[in-house]
Structure 1
């Protein structure tokens, strides 16, 4: 298995662990400021990104703005786990070349743009994007006073570990 796929599956396994710990009410709770987004919104957003990657069209284009935004995934842990399992299965069966070029459409803040990526760079971006959203989820968990036993959750592997003196 390719190292990018293996790393991505490891990162996404944290989603499963999280979803198995939460209630539907916890998943959909959007009461934490300043953005008032729920854990479910972030999980759905993460999985939508991967879903876009697997929806390469006949022109070899991935549109990262064409997300499904399934509200059930945001509100029901079982639906989020089903979506996660679909993405994991697609990753496990992924057989495109990592060095293959793909056109990617995204909105960087000034409207949609088209860029050329490799599949490796697109999947690497998806993995980093996932970790970024885990950090936001960690903030929401803290605000909701929900304990989550994963010391690496939301931390990029390149972030130095610091020791807090108490």
Structure 2
């Protein structure tokens, strides 16, 4: 199961690379679309932050999703974001043979303060993948509002979305 999850994540990260290869820096950094006025770069950075929290906390069994790095270079530099994705993919592949027969403590803020719950490595990685897809959908909305047409098949759609509706951006 872990191999399938990591393969799925890497597929979605490859979609991000395809997106980054297809847009220019002005589009990547454009924060003119309401109501949140966030850029594609800020959404890419945010999804990478989520994965970084997992990687950073795994060895100590204390993943804190509120301890994001928020490295603005990833929000403003396409090549840095791509390099970070490649590093992340390599790290994720190293987890395929890792022992995962234990619970991992994951801390997040649910809106009323921090709470720590138990996950497995597979469940936190599946959560991170769904989180990325959610932000990819927002990126699709931003591109639409900027009148930028691209085709990255399935980008921003949950795999359970009916195929007739899952066209990509």
The verdict on a shared fold, with TM-score over 0.5 as the criterion, is yes
Look up the match of 2:122: 120
Match of 1:156 in 2: 158
Aligned to 1:52: 53
Structure 2 length as normaliser, TM-score?
0.91
Aligned residues: 163
Structure 1: unaligned runs, 5 residues or longer: none
CA distance in 1, matches of 2:101, 2:31: 40
Please tell me whether the aligned partners of residues 25 and 75 of structure 1 are also in contact (alpha carbons under 8 angstroms).
no
Cα pair distance change 1:6/1:99, threshold 3 Å: farther
TM-score (norm 1): 0.92
- Structure 1 residues 57, 126: closer, same or farther in 2, change over 3 A? closer
CA-to-partner distance for each residue in 1:66-113, whole Å, 9 max, x for gaps? Answer: 111011110110111111111111111124334431000001111111
Query: Contact between 1:44 and 1:69, CA under 8 Å: does it hold in 2?
Result: yes
Partners of 2:88 and 2:118 lie apart in 1 by 23
Which sits farther off after the overlay, 87-96 or 139-148? Answer: 87-96
Indicate if the aligned counterparts of 1:22 and 1:77 stay in contact, CA closer than 8 A.
no
CA drift of 1:8 comes to 0.8
Bigger proportion of residues as helix:
2
